[in-house]
Structure 1
Amino acid sequence: MNEAPLGFLFGLIGFLILLSGFFSGSETGMMALNRYRLRHLSKSGHKGAQKASKLLEEPESLISTILIGNNLVNNLAAATATILAIRLYGDSAVVIASILLTLVFLVFAEIIPKTIAAYKSEAVAFKVSYILLPLKALLHPLIWIINHFIRGFLRLTGFEAKNDAEHLSIDELRTIVGEAGQMIPQRHQHMLMNILDLEQVTVDDIMIPRNEVYGIDLEDSHDVILKRLQESEFTRMPVFREDINNIVGILHQRDVISSINTRGEVDLDKLMGIIKEPYFVPESTPLHTQLFNFQKHKHRQGVVVDEYGVVQGIITLEDLLEEIVGEFTSNLLEEINKDIVNLKDGTHRIDGTATIRDVNKSLKWELPTDGPKTLNGLLLEHLESFPDGPCCVNLNGCRFEIEALKDNRIESVLAWKKPKKTKKKKSD
Structure 2
Amino acid sequence: MDNISTDMLFVVLGILIFISAYFSGSETGMMSINRYRLKHLEKQNHRGAKRVSKLLAKPDKLIGLILIGNNLVNIFATLITGIIAQRLYGDAGVFYSGLLLTLVILIFAEITPKTLAALYPEKVAFPSSLILTLLLKLLYPFVIAVNWITNGILAILGISSEQREQHSLSSEELRTVVNESGALLKAQDQDMLVGILDLENVTVEDIMIPRNELVGIDINNEWKRIQKQLTQSNHTRVLLYRDNIDDVVGYVHVRDALRLVSKEQFTKATLLRAVREIYFIPEGTPLNVQLLKFQHAKERLGLVVDEYGDIQGLVTLEDILEEIVGDFTTTMTPTTSDEVNIQPDGSYLVDGSATVRDVNKEMTWNFPTDGPKTINGLILEYLEDIPEANLSVRISGYPLEIIEVKDNMIKTVRILPDFYDGIKT
**Bin for the TM-score computed over the shorter chain:** over 0.9
Task: Tell me the CA shift for residue 389 of structure 1.
Answer: 3.3
- Indicate if the aligned counterparts of 1:223 and 1:265 stay in contact, CA closer than 8 A: no
- Indicate if the aligned counterparts of 1:29 and 1:125 stay in contact, CA closer than 8 A: yes
Moved more, 323-332 or 204-213: 323-332
Question: Aligned residue pairs: how many?
Answer: 421
The amino acid of 1:84's aligned partner reads: I
1:173-212 to 2 correspondences below 5 Å: 173-212=174-213
1:23-422 to 2 correspondences below 5 Å: 23-161=23-161, 162-260=163-261, 267-331=267-331, 334=334, 338-420=338-420
Specify the SS of the correspondent of 1:402.
strand
**Matches of 2:397 and 2:134 in 1, distance apart?**
62
Moved more, 401-410 or 217-226: 217-226
Task: Tell me the CA shift for residue 265 of structure 1.
Answer: 10
RMSD of aligned Cα (Å): 2.0
Task: Tell me the CA shift for residue 219 of structure 1.
Answer: 2.0
**Matches of 1:420 and 1:398 in 2, distance apart?**
5
Specify the SS of the correspondent of 2:133.
helix
**Matches of 2:412 and 2:160 in 1, distance apart?**
59
Specify the SS of the correspondent of 2:225.
helix
**Matches of 1:421 and 1:222 in 2, distance apart?**
58
Specify the SS of the correspondent of 1:199.
helix
Specify the SS of the correspondent of 1:144.
helix
- State the TM-score, normalizing by the size of structure 1: 0.94
Moved more, 191-200 or 388-397: 388-397
Task: Tell me the CA shift for residue 224 of structure 1.
Answer: 2.0
Task: Tell me the CA shift for residue 342 of structure 1.
Answer: 2.0
**Matches of 1:331 and 1:111 in 2, distance apart?**
57
**Matches of 1:421 and 1:394 in 2, distance apart?**
11
CA 88–176 in structure 1, closer or farther in 2 if over 3 Å, else same? same
Task: Tell me the CA shift for residue 257 of structure 1.
Answer: 2.9
Moved more, 343-352 or 230-239: 343-352
- Indicate if the aligned counterparts of 1:304 and 1:314 stay in contact, CA closer than 8 A: yes
**Matches of 2:332 and 2:255 in 1, distance apart?**
21
The percentage of counterpart residues that share the same residue type is 47
**Matches of 2:288 and 2:170 in 1, distance apart?**
17
**Matches of 1:168 and 1:283 in 2, distance apart?**
29
- State the TM-score, normalizing by the size of structure 2: 0.95
**Matches of 2:121 and 2:184 in 1, distance apart?**
18
Specify the SS of the correspondent of 1:243.
coil
Specify the SS of the correspondent of 2:33.
coil
Specify the SS of the correspondent of 2:285.
coil
**Matches of 1:24 and 1:111 in 2, distance apart?**
9
Specify the SS of the correspondent of 1:334.
coil
